[in-house]
């Protein structure tokens, strides 16, 4: 046996190399058959203004609609302001899709691309027409994701991890979490009540004053910082859309109230009890919904006159 192996060692090695090369050629041929690799920077989607966007997940659905004041999230026949930046980024990423290649569906089986149990189906509407596409699996070799356009009956190979960030988001993730729609520079009065402390602060000729206490010199930097923080505050959770009893959240007897005045417009928030060690329950003046907010916002509310005047 050893003599046989020694005698034909060269032939065996040659045969083995031939088999490997044959497998490589077959593999490359199959890969070439599945992908027409022609990198482009254009999108297979419409470049018209998108008026609505629907995302169908295996067990849920997100519906976004453009309105006069921006994007809205529609859920259970209710309209909520959507996160404008998030929706804008999603649409931009969709319309700037980088196509790697295409696969005509009359030559392939759609099931092999993960389209039978798709990650998501997205429908875009421009008012004149709808355009939809289905996101499948990642390609087995190389870098890319299968996307099916049923109108064109074409499977596209697009960039790796296509829209993967957005596909993990739920309805509440698309909601705008900004607490106030405030222009901090336009606010001319602030009303604060917290425990035994209350104050009305007004702005005149660029300076802040305490109502009824003109002798006090208000620290403008502290008030500007307060406005900056509140104008950028975001809710942590949407706790209760239709609260029946505010007592559950300590909002029937608030601990703190803050209101901001811009001419005839008023926006305010009341703080209830602590939800946990990191957050408080709150309710905005403009609706009856209950949210939770990080405790740092509560700590920023002045609790005495010394916290807003020059020392």
Q: pLDDT tens digit string along 38-61?
A: 454 445 566 678 899 999 988 889
158 shares its domain with 196: no
pLDDT of 161 reads 78
Q: Give 107's pLDDT tier (boundaries 50, 70, 90).
A: low
210 has a pLDDT exceeding 50: yes
84 shares its domain with 57: yes
110 shares its domain with 141: yes
- Residue 101's closest CA among 28, 34, 26? 34
135 shares its domain with 56: yes
Find the DSSP H helices in the chain.
2-7, 9-34, 84-95, 164-167, 171-174, 220-231, 295-300
Contact 257/300 with Cβ under 8 angstroms?
no
pLDDT digits (tens, 9 = 90+) for 14-30: 444 344 334 433 443 44
Q: Give 90's pLDDT tier (boundaries 50, 70, 90).
A: very high
214 shares its domain with 254: yes
Distances (CA, A) of 249 to 50, 272, 303: 40, 6, 21
Bridge partners of 258? 192, 269
73 has a pLDDT exceeding 50: yes
Query: Percentage of the chain with pLDDT > 90?
Result: 45
- Residues of the domain holding 279: 189-307
Any domain includes 37: no
168 shares its domain with 57: yes
- Tell me the two tokens of residue 285: 């003046």
Backbone angles phi, psi at 66, to 5 degrees: -85, 135
Whole-number average pLDDT of the chain: 82
pLDDT of 45 reads 64
- Residue 184's closest CA among 219, 222, 220, 229? 229
Residues 219 and 207: their CA atoms lie apart, in Å, by: 9
76 shares its domain with 112: yes
208 shares its domain with 241: yes
Q: Which of 174, 198, 232 is the last residue of a domain?
A: 174
The total number of structural domains that make up the chain = 2
163 shares its domain with 211: no
Of the given ranges (5-14, 135-144, 281-290), which has the lowest mean pLDDT?
A: 5-14
Burial class (CB in 10 A: 0-12, 13-18, 19+), 271: buried
3 state SS of 279: strand
């Amino acid at each position: 046996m050893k003599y046989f192996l020694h005698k034909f060692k060269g032939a065996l090695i040659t045969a083995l190399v031939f088999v490997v090369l044959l497998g490589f050629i077959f593999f490359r041929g199959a890969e070439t058959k599945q992908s027409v690799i022609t990198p482009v920077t254009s999108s297979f989607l419409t470049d018209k203004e998108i008026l609505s966007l629907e995302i169908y997940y295996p067990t849920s659905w997100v519906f976004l609609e453009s309105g006069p004041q921006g994007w809205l999230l529609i859920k259970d026949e209710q309209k909520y302001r959507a996160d404008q930046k998030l929706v804008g980024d999603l649409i931009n990423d969709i319309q700037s899709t980088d196509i790697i290649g295409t696969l005509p569906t009359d030559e392939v089986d759609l099931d092999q691309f993960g389209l039978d149990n798709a990650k998501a189906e997205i429908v875009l509407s421009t008012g004149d027409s709808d355009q939809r596409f289905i996101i499948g699996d990642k390609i087995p070799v190389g870098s890319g994701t299968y996307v099916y356009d049923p109108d064109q009956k074409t499977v596209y190979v697009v960039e790796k991890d296509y829209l993967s960030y957005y596909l993990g988001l739920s309805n509440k993730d698309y909601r705008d979490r900004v607490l106030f729609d405030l222009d901090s520079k336009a606010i001319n009065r602030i009303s604060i009540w917290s425990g035994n402390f209350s104050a009305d602060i007004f702005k005149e000729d660029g300076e802040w004053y305490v109502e009824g206490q003109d002798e006090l010199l208000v620290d403008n930097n502290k008030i500007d910082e307060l406005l900056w923080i509140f104008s950028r505050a975001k809710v942590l959770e949407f706790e209760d859309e239709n609260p029946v009893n505010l007592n559950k959240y300590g909002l029937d007897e608030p601990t703190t109230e803050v209101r901001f005045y811009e001419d005839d417009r008023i926006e305010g928030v009341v703080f209830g009890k602590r939800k946990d060690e990191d957050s408080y329950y709150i309710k905005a003046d403009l609706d009856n919904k209950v949210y939770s907010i990080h405790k740092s916002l509560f700590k920023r509310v002045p609790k005495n006159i010394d916290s807003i005047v020059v020392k």
